[in-house]
Amino acid sequence: MKERTAGNEFFKGIGPIRFEGIKSDNPLAFRFYNPTAKVGKKTMEQHLRFAVAYWHSFCGTGGDPFGLPTKNFPWLTSSDPIHRAKDKMDAAFEFMTKIGAPFYCFHDYDIVDEAITLKESEKRLETMVAYAKQKQKESGVKLLWGTANLFSNPRYMNGAATNPDFHVVCHAGTQVKNAIDATIALGGINYVFWGGREGYLSLLNTDMKREQEHMARFLHMARDYGRKQGFNGTFLIEPKPMEPSKHQYDFDSATVISFLREYDLMDDFKLNLEVNHATLAHHTFQHELQVAADAGVLGSMDANRGDYQNGWDTDQFPNNVYELTEAMLVVLQSGGFTAGGINFDAKTRRNSSDLADIFYAHIGGIDAFARALVAAHTILEDGEYTKLRKQRYGTFDSGKGKEFERNKLSLTDLRDLAHTTGEPAQISGRQEYFENILSKFV
């Protein structure tokens, strides 16, 4: 077998991406993201905690249900699975270092292809985890989260943890155990569960209650195992309403939170919220973030955008600064990211077939978030937005309104008060005024 050449440069002609400021017309530079610039008490890098998604940028080659792959990645050419995996990892770390991302995220079988036997798959994973450890050490790039791919292999066609066949659940458990081990070995800060196949296609053949109980049992086992192995990080659930399942159990923030509460998992689990998944659930992204923040479980973010003209997960890189500002307002007001970050769960389009396109995509997304961060911070500093929103609830800050909040009134008290005060004066919600505050700073 041909020896692998280590240290290949895959993105030739592209150096480290630097901040050059708004006047720069260099397409391979940041115009807004200056990692060391302070926004309030933290630097941009500390606020945003960007992560590169291994699967989209180094594994996905552009195949779709209607056509073959379009991306001829030079790191995928070797016929030997370990050589190929190491080349891919060299490319990934070269990219992450050049773009200046502090973090990355992966699924188990992103870093190496699954083998025919479980034993061989585990051996491959072990080899690649050791290689990743070395690469992380050399580059300083850290693991934001690890996860297991419990949706691609045909064995999961009826679900993973919620599969009606216990034997499949055992396979899912094995993968999760190994992925947790890998995450711990690599110092991962979070561990994610996205249950793409945890749901159903038809209720006619599905015992939903039993499947959800199995899912809870499975998550308890994973939590117990991780904690026993010394994992102190956060377990994250990533909601999505559908695709590939017709109905996914982790539908949206509210559904997942009530599941976590019902099965006593709130102490260990938080949410990883993805923009396009919110869109598919007919929510705004900021709604999903706020629901999680209000329950104290806003963990991390998968950043992308959908498409206004269709109804599936297009995973496009973010570029809508106005919408991102609304999202960053929620994040900042909830105290910002601690363990979590912003993972670019986004892919370049199928016809973006140059290697440089991966750089343009990330530069665009990172700059858009930097602008949104600054805008949201400025809006909060300016204070008019928060003041006006607080004022809307002013009648609860004193007198009878305050007594209501403090549980001092009964329903008959409300009746008596309504009779004394008469018809309330109309008060405008001033939505357009609020929108204009945002426009002023975006």
Applying CB under 5 A, the residues found at the interface with Co ion are 274, 302, 345
| Length of the chain, in residues | 442
Choose the contact partner of 240 out of Co ion, ligand XUL, none; CB within 5 to 8 A by kind: ligand XUL
Nearest to 338 by CA among 155, 188, 119, 189: 189
Give the CB-nearest residue to ligand XUL: 194
- Decide which of ligand XUL, Co ion, none touches 268; Cβ closer than 5 to 8 Å per partner kind: none
Report, in this order, helix, strand and coil percent for the chain, each rounded to 5.
50, 10, 40
Q: Which is nearer to ligand XUL, 147 or 316 (CB)?
A: 147
User: Do the Cβ atoms of 278 and 240 come closer than 8 Å?
Assistant: no
What does 313 bind: ligand XUL, Co ion, none (CB cut-off 5 to 8 Å by kind)? Answer: ligand XUL
Instruction: For the CB of residue 192, give the shortest distance to Co ion in the complex, in Å.
Output: 8
Q: Please report how close the Cβ of residue 241 comes to ligand XUL at its closest, in angstroms.
A: 11
Residues near ligand XUL (CB under 6 A) are 107, 147, 192, 194, 238, 240, 274, 302, 313, 345
Of 361 and 375, which has the nearer Cβ to ligand XUL?
Answer: 361
Residues marked as catalytic: 107, 110
Query: How far is Cα 23 from Cα 133, in angstroms, rounded to an integer?
Result: 39
Alpha carbon distance 95, 104 (integer Å) = 11
Question: Which residue's CB is nearer to ligand XUL, number 135 or number 240?
Answer: 240
Which CB, 98 or 171, lies closer to ligand XUL? Answer: 171
Task: Give the relative orientation of helices 81-99 and 118-139 as an angle to the nearest 10 degrees.
Answer: 30
Q: How far is the CB of 113 from ligand XUL (least distance, A)?
A: 17
- Burial class (CB within 10 angstroms; exposed 0-12, middle 13-18, buried 19+) of 389: exposed
Residue type, 1: M
Q: Is 401 left (phi over 0), alpha (psi -120 to 50) or beta?
A: alpha
Q: Report, in Å, the least distance between residue 277 CB and Co ion.
A: 7
Q: Which does 58 bind (CB under 5 to 8 A by kind): ligand XUL, Co ion, none?
A: none
When the beta carbons of 275 and 375 are compared against Co ion, the nearer one is: 275
Q: Is 272 exposed, middle or buried (0-12, 13-18, 19+ CB in 10 A)?
A: buried
Helices (H), 285-320: 285-294
In angstroms, how far is CA 340 from the centroid of its own chain? 9
Q: Which is nearer to Co ion, 344 or 385 (CB)?
A: 344
> Do 236 and 301 form a contact (C-beta atoms < 8 A)?
no
Helix, strand or coil, per DSSP, at residue 117: coil
Instruction: Identify which of residues 94 and 274 has a Cβ nearer to Co ion in the complex.
Output: 274
Q: Please list, in sequence order, all residues whose beta carbon lies within 8 angstroms of the beta carbon of residue 135, skipping any fewer than 6 positions away.
A: 89, 90, 93, 141
**In this structure, how many other beta carbons lie within 10 angstroms of the beta carbon of residue 409?**
16
**DSSP summary character for residue 56:** I
Cβ at position 140, least distance to ligand XUL in Å: 24
Beta carbon of residue 435, minimum distance to Co ion (angstroms, whole number): 29
> 265, 216 in Cβ contact below 8 A?
yes
Q: How far is the CB of 53 from ligand XUL (least distance, A)?
A: 7
